[in-house]
Structure 1
């Protein structure tokens, strides 16, 4: 069988979402830790970003395409709902993550707080109310179901978890997550999974 290689910087939350999918499916793979906008990244992604995947004659880039391929090309537990409404809810959350959660959690708080020295406090201050709104909406969504698209883990959960795991590492994370019991209970359920222990707890 052709070797599957996931290309991307290990710290990327999108690369981590793909690795979670691979672990959930039990797929053997090699992780190629290429950096952004390098010749190595450009070899698989025309914009030099991550993640990208190569599997035999298949080359894919962008996390949604990669994770859907992982789910559909391999045996193992399904990571996409079988019904149209469930798949739509999953896709809705992935779209919302890309548009709202990732910019607030990662771009405005996590990157500034964990990767920039000095941090830009104005950017962080702008991100905190945006992150609070995102967490409010997440908390409401998780009041009625254990996972974002219903009763089982889907790709939506795998997209959101790495970002929230990072947010919790920042000084802003504790206050933002306080009184968001549905979100923190979901995080506990997700972090207890073997996939999260392998990728996020290491």
Structure 2
């Protein structure tokens, strides 16, 4: 293999490693920042429900009838697609005795989650207490923190696609420059070798 091709291959390999590392670092960084953004948004959603729930308890003195709010559905149109989901689909309300009093999954209503380690961990880290007249009457927690909505999934895919296209364009440009640079460097060396 001639010096020109060895030099071209070395430059191309360097460019490939640089583009690959950039792609990995970019997508990993975006994914981590997006996950923390989503977690912050979920916490904000949960906190924004607390005044409503405190008012509900103050007005009724019980959680009976709260489940009707978990049946409300929102519709989001994106292009020709229409997504619908319950407004409170990723929220759970747990009373002071750890009974589920509000949840989009009807099978969970009325269940005691005191001994559920997963729910206990979510309560500990993400739970927001509902306090009425100095007494904690419930805790609101986010559910399915890791599950992405279709819009969130599309957003992450579009970021990955954009980084991939940018990386591919940079790699093609680097390959062309590698060949040109190798040709320019190898000509004088070839003449020098032939002269000796």
Given the two structures, how large is their TM-score scaled by the length of structure 1? 0.25
- Higher strand share goes to which structure? 2
Bigger Cα Rg = 2
TM-score (norm 2): 0.26
- Bigger relative contact order, structure 1 or 2 (CA pairs below 8 A, ≥6 apart): 2
